[in-house]
Structure 1
Amino acid sequence: MPTMRSTAKLVGGLCLAIGLLAASPSRAQTPDSVSAAKALSSTLWLTTKVYLEGAPEQDVQADYMGVVGLSRWDSARNRYEFFDPATGASRLKAGGGGYFFITGDGKHHVLVPDAGAVRVLPRRLEKLTTAEFTYSREVPRNMVQGNPPVRIYVVHTPYTGPFNPPLSQP
Protein backbone atom coordinates (compact mmCIF):
# COMPACT_ATOMS: atom_id res chain seq x y z
CA MET A 1 0.00 0.00 0.00
CA PRO A 2 1.53 3.30 -1.03
CA THR A 3 2.17 5.86 1.64
CA MET A 4 0.93 9.43 1.56
CA ARG A 5 4.50 10.52 0.85
CA SER A 6 4.85 8.21 -2.19
CA THR A 7 1.47 9.39 -3.47
CA ALA A 8 2.54 13.01 -3.04
CA LYS A 9 5.77 12.29 -4.95
CA LEU A 10 3.82 10.59 -7.74
CA VAL A 11 1.38 13.48 -8.05
CA GLY A 12 4.17 16.05 -7.76
CA GLY A 13 6.14 14.34 -10.52
CA LEU A 14 3.06 14.09 -12.67
CA CYS A 15 2.28 17.79 -12.13
CA LEU A 16 5.88 18.74 -12.95
CA ALA A 17 5.78 16.71 -16.17
CA ILE A 18 2.47 18.24 -17.16
CA GLY A 19 3.77 21.71 -16.35
CA LEU A 20 6.89 21.19 -18.46
CA LEU A 21 4.81 19.92 -21.37
CA ALA A 22 2.38 22.82 -21.03
CA ALA A 23 5.28 25.31 -21.12
CA SER A 24 6.34 24.01 -24.52
CA PRO A 25 4.73 26.12 -27.29
CA SER A 26 3.98 23.01 -29.34
CA ARG A 27 2.27 21.31 -26.39
CA ALA A 28 0.47 24.23 -24.75
CA GLN A 29 -2.91 23.44 -23.26
CA THR A 30 -5.51 23.84 -25.98
CA PRO A 31 -8.76 25.75 -25.63
CA ASP A 32 -10.53 22.36 -25.83
CA SER A 33 -8.97 21.07 -22.61
CA VAL A 34 -9.41 24.41 -20.83
CA SER A 35 -13.09 24.72 -21.74
CA ALA A 36 -13.63 21.02 -20.93
CA ALA A 37 -12.20 21.47 -17.42
CA LYS A 38 -14.40 24.53 -16.88
CA ALA A 39 -17.51 22.63 -18.03
CA LEU A 40 -16.59 19.76 -15.72
CA SER A 41 -16.27 22.16 -12.78
CA SER A 42 -19.56 23.91 -13.54
CA THR A 43 -21.83 21.64 -11.48
CA LEU A 44 -22.25 18.58 -9.29
CA TRP A 45 -22.77 15.64 -11.68
CA LEU A 46 -25.11 12.64 -11.30
CA THR A 47 -24.68 9.37 -13.19
CA THR A 48 -27.91 8.99 -15.15
CA LYS A 49 -27.10 6.11 -17.49
CA VAL A 50 -24.51 3.40 -18.10
CA TYR A 51 -24.52 1.44 -21.35
CA LEU A 52 -22.30 -1.00 -23.21
CA GLU A 53 -20.62 -0.09 -26.48
CA GLY A 54 -23.05 -0.65 -29.33
CA ALA A 55 -26.13 -0.75 -27.06
CA PRO A 56 -26.96 2.83 -26.02
CA GLU A 57 -30.65 2.00 -25.65
CA GLN A 58 -30.04 -0.43 -22.76
CA ASP A 59 -29.25 1.11 -19.34
CA VAL A 60 -27.06 -1.30 -17.31
CA GLN A 61 -26.39 0.86 -14.23
CA ALA A 62 -27.37 -2.02 -11.92
CA ASP A 63 -24.47 -4.11 -13.29
CA TYR A 64 -21.91 -1.31 -12.90
CA MET A 65 -22.70 0.29 -9.54
CA GLY A 66 -18.99 1.05 -9.02
CA VAL A 67 -19.27 3.91 -11.52
CA VAL A 68 -22.65 5.27 -10.38
CA GLY A 69 -22.79 8.30 -8.11
CA LEU A 70 -22.34 12.01 -7.68
CA SER A 71 -19.09 13.69 -8.66
CA ARG A 72 -17.59 17.11 -8.04
CA TRP A 73 -14.64 18.53 -9.99
CA ASP A 74 -12.47 21.55 -9.17
CA SER A 75 -10.50 22.71 -12.22
CA ALA A 76 -8.58 25.33 -10.21
CA ARG A 77 -7.00 22.64 -7.99
CA ASN A 78 -7.42 19.69 -10.38
CA ARG A 79 -9.19 17.79 -7.59
CA TYR A 80 -12.20 15.49 -7.83
CA GLU A 81 -14.35 13.58 -5.37
CA PHE A 82 -17.16 11.03 -5.66
CA PHE A 83 -20.21 10.87 -3.39
CA ASP A 84 -22.95 8.34 -2.68
CA PRO A 85 -26.08 9.45 -4.57
CA ALA A 86 -28.44 8.13 -1.86
CA THR A 87 -26.76 9.81 1.13
CA GLY A 88 -24.36 12.43 -0.22
CA ALA A 89 -21.54 10.78 1.78
CA SER A 90 -17.99 11.10 0.44
CA ARG A 91 -16.26 8.09 -1.13
CA LEU A 92 -12.84 9.71 -0.72
CA LYS A 93 -11.45 7.19 1.78
CA ALA A 94 -12.44 4.30 -0.50
CA GLY A 95 -10.43 5.71 -3.41
CA GLY A 96 -13.17 8.05 -4.63
CA GLY A 97 -11.12 11.21 -4.87
CA GLY A 98 -7.81 12.61 -5.97
CA TYR A 99 -6.34 14.60 -8.83
CA PHE A 100 -7.47 14.75 -12.44
CA PHE A 101 -6.44 16.30 -15.71
CA ILE A 102 -7.78 16.51 -19.22
CA THR A 103 -5.27 15.87 -21.97
CA GLY A 104 -4.30 18.83 -24.13
CA ASP A 105 -6.25 17.48 -27.10
CA GLY A 106 -9.38 17.30 -24.91
CA LYS A 107 -9.90 13.60 -25.73
CA HIS A 108 -9.00 11.93 -22.43
CA HIS A 109 -9.81 12.51 -18.80
CA VAL A 110 -7.24 10.99 -16.42
CA LEU A 111 -7.81 10.34 -12.71
CA VAL A 112 -5.02 9.91 -10.15
CA PRO A 113 -6.79 8.61 -7.01
CA ASP A 114 -5.48 9.47 -3.54
CA ALA A 115 -6.10 5.91 -2.30
CA GLY A 116 -6.80 2.43 -3.60
CA ALA A 117 -5.09 -0.10 -5.81
CA VAL A 118 -5.60 1.84 -9.05
CA ARG A 119 -2.95 4.53 -9.44
CA VAL A 120 -3.95 6.07 -12.77
CA LEU A 121 -7.33 5.73 -14.47
CA PRO A 122 -7.55 6.99 -18.06
CA ARG A 123 -11.03 7.57 -19.50
CA ARG A 124 -12.04 8.65 -22.98
CA LEU A 125 -14.13 11.84 -23.04
CA GLU A 126 -17.13 11.25 -25.27
CA LYS A 127 -19.09 14.43 -24.54
CA LEU A 128 -18.54 17.31 -22.15
CA THR A 129 -20.82 20.33 -22.06
CA THR A 130 -22.50 22.11 -19.17
CA ALA A 131 -25.54 19.85 -19.79
CA GLU A 132 -23.85 16.43 -20.19
CA PHE A 133 -20.63 14.69 -19.18
CA THR A 134 -20.06 11.28 -20.78
CA TYR A 135 -16.90 9.19 -20.66
CA SER A 136 -16.07 5.64 -21.69
CA ARG A 137 -13.56 3.12 -20.47
CA GLU A 138 -12.84 -0.59 -20.52
CA VAL A 139 -13.79 -2.61 -17.45
CA PRO A 140 -14.37 -6.31 -16.78
CA ARG A 141 -17.93 -7.31 -17.77
CA ASN A 142 -20.28 -6.61 -14.82
CA MET A 143 -17.24 -5.25 -12.92
CA VAL A 144 -16.25 -8.83 -12.00
CA GLN A 145 -12.49 -9.43 -12.05
CA GLY A 146 -11.58 -12.15 -14.56
CA ASN A 147 -14.52 -11.45 -16.88
CA PRO A 148 -13.71 -10.32 -20.42
CA PRO A 149 -13.33 -6.57 -20.92
CA VAL A 150 -16.17 -4.42 -22.26
CA ARG A 151 -16.34 -0.72 -23.01
CA ILE A 152 -18.90 1.09 -20.89
CA TYR A 153 -20.26 4.57 -21.48
CA VAL A 154 -21.12 6.52 -18.34
CA VAL A 155 -23.52 9.44 -18.81
CA HIS A 156 -23.91 12.25 -16.26
CA THR A 157 -26.22 15.24 -16.06
CA PRO A 158 -26.23 18.16 -13.62
CA TYR A 159 -27.52 17.07 -10.21
CA THR A 160 -30.54 18.95 -8.85
CA GLY A 161 -31.23 16.95 -5.68
CA PRO A 162 -30.95 17.82 -1.99
CA PHE A 163 -27.20 17.22 -1.52
CA ASN A 164 -24.50 19.82 -2.12
CA PRO A 165 -21.35 18.20 -0.75
CA PRO A 166 -18.15 20.24 -0.85
CA LEU A 167 -14.81 18.77 -1.86
CA SER A 168 -12.85 17.44 1.10
CA GLN A 169 -9.47 19.02 1.75
CA PRO A 170 -6.60 16.75 0.63
Structure 2
Amino acid sequence: MQKNMMTGLLLAALLAPVANAHADVRELASSPRWLTTKVYIDGAPETDVKARYPGVVGISTWDPERNRYEFFYTDTGESKYNNGGGGYFFVTGDQQQHILVPDIGPTKTWVRRLETLNNREFTYSREVPRDMVDNNPLVRIHVVHAPYTGTIETKSAIKQ
Protein backbone atom coordinates (compact mmCIF):
# COMPACT_ATOMS: atom_id res chain seq x y z
CA MET A 1 0.00 0.00 0.00
CA GLN A 2 2.73 2.48 0.95
CA LYS A 3 4.70 1.59 -2.20
CA ASN A 4 1.65 2.31 -4.39
CA MET A 5 1.06 5.59 -2.56
CA MET A 6 4.68 6.67 -3.07
CA THR A 7 4.51 5.75 -6.76
CA GLY A 8 1.28 7.74 -7.09
CA LEU A 9 2.82 10.79 -5.41
CA LEU A 10 5.89 10.57 -7.64
CA LEU A 11 3.75 10.38 -10.76
CA ALA A 12 1.54 13.26 -9.62
CA ALA A 13 4.58 15.42 -8.92
CA LEU A 14 6.03 14.62 -12.31
CA LEU A 15 2.83 15.16 -14.28
CA ALA A 16 2.52 18.82 -13.31
CA PRO A 17 5.75 19.94 -15.02
CA VAL A 18 4.89 18.08 -18.24
CA ALA A 19 2.36 20.76 -19.22
CA ASN A 20 5.04 23.45 -18.97
CA ALA A 21 7.49 21.47 -21.14
CA HIS A 22 4.87 20.19 -23.59
CA ALA A 23 6.11 22.16 -26.60
CA ASP A 24 9.67 20.86 -26.17
CA VAL A 25 8.61 17.28 -25.41
CA ARG A 26 6.72 17.29 -28.69
CA GLU A 27 10.09 17.34 -30.48
CA LEU A 28 10.21 13.63 -29.67
CA ALA A 29 7.21 13.28 -31.98
CA SER A 30 9.09 14.96 -34.84
CA SER A 31 10.23 11.45 -35.79
CA PRO A 32 8.17 8.29 -35.35
CA ARG A 33 11.33 6.40 -34.40
CA TRP A 34 14.79 7.36 -33.17
CA LEU A 35 18.05 5.42 -33.61
CA THR A 36 21.03 5.45 -31.25
CA THR A 37 23.84 6.80 -33.44
CA LYS A 38 26.60 7.27 -30.88
CA VAL A 39 27.50 6.68 -27.25
CA TYR A 40 30.43 8.50 -25.68
CA ILE A 41 31.88 8.99 -22.23
CA ASP A 42 31.72 12.48 -20.74
CA GLY A 43 34.68 14.52 -21.96
CA ALA A 44 35.46 12.25 -24.93
CA PRO A 45 32.82 12.98 -27.62
CA GLU A 46 35.22 11.95 -30.39
CA THR A 47 35.25 8.30 -29.22
CA ASP A 48 32.15 6.20 -29.96
CA VAL A 49 31.78 3.43 -27.35
CA LYS A 50 28.43 1.97 -28.49
CA ALA A 51 29.90 -1.53 -28.55
CA ARG A 52 30.67 -1.34 -24.82
CA TYR A 53 27.15 -0.14 -23.91
CA PRO A 54 24.76 -2.31 -25.97
CA GLY A 55 21.99 -1.99 -23.38
CA VAL A 56 21.42 1.66 -24.32
CA VAL A 57 21.60 1.13 -28.09
CA GLY A 58 18.47 0.64 -30.14
CA ILE A 59 15.50 2.07 -31.94
CA SER A 60 13.03 3.94 -29.76
CA THR A 61 9.56 5.37 -30.07
CA TRP A 62 8.18 8.26 -28.02
CA ASP A 63 4.55 9.29 -27.74
CA PRO A 64 4.39 12.69 -25.97
CA GLU A 65 0.58 12.73 -26.16
CA ARG A 66 0.43 9.65 -23.89
CA ASN A 67 3.92 10.02 -22.32
CA ARG A 68 4.76 6.48 -23.50
CA TYR A 69 8.03 5.05 -24.79
CA GLU A 70 9.25 1.72 -26.15
CA PHE A 71 12.68 0.41 -27.12
CA PHE A 72 13.56 -2.07 -29.87
CA TYR A 73 16.61 -4.08 -30.97
CA THR A 74 18.32 -2.60 -34.04
CA ASP A 75 18.95 -5.92 -35.77
CA THR A 76 15.50 -7.53 -35.47
CA GLY A 77 13.12 -4.72 -34.53
CA GLU A 78 11.94 -6.91 -31.63
CA SER A 79 10.57 -4.98 -28.66
CA LYS A 80 12.59 -4.72 -25.43
CA TYR A 81 9.32 -4.15 -23.55
CA ASN A 82 9.42 -7.39 -21.53
CA ASN A 83 12.88 -6.41 -20.22
CA GLY A 84 11.85 -2.97 -18.95
CA GLY A 85 11.99 -1.36 -22.39
CA GLY A 86 8.61 0.32 -22.34
CA GLY A 87 6.50 2.48 -20.09
CA TYR A 88 5.92 6.11 -19.19
CA PHE A 89 8.30 9.03 -19.53
CA PHE A 90 8.38 12.58 -18.23
CA VAL A 91 10.44 15.67 -18.84
CA THR A 92 10.74 17.97 -15.85
CA GLY A 93 9.41 21.53 -16.12
CA ASP A 94 12.93 22.94 -16.26
CA GLN A 95 13.59 20.55 -19.18
CA GLN A 96 16.76 19.27 -17.53
CA GLN A 97 15.71 15.71 -16.64
CA HIS A 98 14.16 12.94 -18.73
CA ILE A 99 12.61 10.32 -16.45
CA LEU A 100 11.57 6.83 -17.52
CA VAL A 101 9.17 4.68 -15.51
CA PRO A 102 9.13 1.16 -17.01
CA ASP A 103 5.89 -0.82 -16.88
CA ILE A 104 7.78 -4.01 -15.96
CA GLY A 105 11.31 -5.08 -15.15
CA PRO A 106 13.77 -4.81 -12.28
CA THR A 107 14.44 -1.06 -12.57
CA LYS A 108 11.73 1.24 -11.22
CA THR A 109 12.89 4.55 -12.75
CA TRP A 110 15.74 5.95 -14.80
CA VAL A 111 16.62 9.61 -14.42
CA ARG A 112 18.56 10.94 -17.38
CA ARG A 113 19.93 14.42 -18.00
CA LEU A 114 18.39 15.88 -21.15
CA GLU A 115 21.24 17.30 -23.24
CA THR A 116 19.68 18.03 -26.66
CA LEU A 117 16.16 17.71 -27.99
CA ASN A 118 15.15 19.00 -31.40
CA ASN A 119 13.89 17.50 -34.67
CA ARG A 120 17.41 16.33 -35.65
CA GLU A 121 18.86 15.08 -32.38
CA PHE A 122 17.82 13.64 -29.06
CA THR A 123 20.70 13.22 -26.60
CA TYR A 124 20.61 12.31 -22.94
CA SER A 125 23.31 11.45 -20.42
CA ARG A 126 23.34 9.35 -17.28
CA GLU A 127 25.77 7.70 -14.91
CA VAL A 128 26.37 3.98 -15.31
CA PRO A 129 29.12 1.56 -14.26
CA ARG A 130 32.01 1.73 -16.75
CA ASP A 131 31.34 -0.77 -19.57
CA MET A 132 28.04 -1.60 -17.79
CA VAL A 133 29.89 -3.97 -15.47
CA ASP A 134 28.63 -4.02 -11.88
CA ASN A 135 31.14 -2.71 -9.31
CA ASN A 136 33.07 -0.74 -11.94
CA PRO A 137 33.41 2.99 -11.19
CA LEU A 138 30.59 5.19 -12.47
CA VAL A 139 31.02 7.17 -15.69
CA ARG A 140 28.63 9.57 -17.39
CA ILE A 141 27.68 8.36 -20.85
CA HIS A 142 26.01 10.49 -23.51
CA VAL A 143 23.59 8.63 -25.77
CA VAL A 144 22.92 10.35 -29.10
CA HIS A 145 19.89 9.60 -31.29
CA ALA A 146 18.79 10.74 -34.73
CA PRO A 147 15.52 10.15 -36.57
CA TYR A 148 15.51 6.54 -37.84
CA THR A 149 15.14 6.19 -41.60
CA GLY A 150 16.12 2.53 -42.00
CA THR A 151 14.06 -0.44 -43.09
CA ILE A 152 13.76 -2.44 -39.85
CA GLU A 153 10.08 -2.82 -38.92
CA THR A 154 9.18 -2.41 -35.26
CA LYS A 155 6.05 -3.86 -33.68
CA SER A 156 4.90 -2.54 -30.33
CA ALA A 157 4.46 -4.98 -27.45
CA ILE A 158 2.68 -2.34 -25.31
CA LYS A 159 -0.94 -3.18 -24.76
CA GLN A 160 -3.09 -0.30 -25.92
TM-score (norm 2): 0.89
Please list every run of at least 4 consecutive aligned residues from structure 1 whose deviation after the TM superposition is greater than 6 angstroms. 5-10
Alpha-carbon distance change, 91 to 18 in structure 1, aligned in 2, over 3 angstroms = same
**Following the alignment from structure 1 to structure 2, what is the Cα–Cα distance between the partners of residues 18 and 140?**
27
Q: Quick check: 1:111 aligned with 2:100?
A: yes
1:50 to 1:136, Cα distance in 2 relative to 1, 3 A: same
Gaps spanning 5+ residues in structure 2: where? none
Residue 78 of structure 1: aligned partner: 67
Q: Within 1, Cα distance between the matches of 2:94 and 2:132?
A: 29
Residue matched to 2:48: 59
Aligned to 1:17: 13
Letter in 1 for 2:58: G
| Identity among equivalent pairs (%) | 53
Q: Structure 1 unaligned segments of length 5 or more: list them.
A: none
Partners in 2 of 1:16 and 1:129 — Cα distance? 26
1:130 to 112, 119, 133: 119
Distance 1:78 1:10, change over 3 A: farther
- 2:69 alignment partner, SS class: strand
CA separation of 1:18 and 1:151: change in aligned 2, threshold 3 A: closer
Q: Is the 8 A contact 1:36 1:102 kept in 2?
A: no
Q: Cα RMSD (Å) of the superposition?
A: 2.2
TM-score normalised by length of structure 1: 0.84
Structure 1 SS opposite 2:128: strand
Which residue is equivalent to 2:23?
35
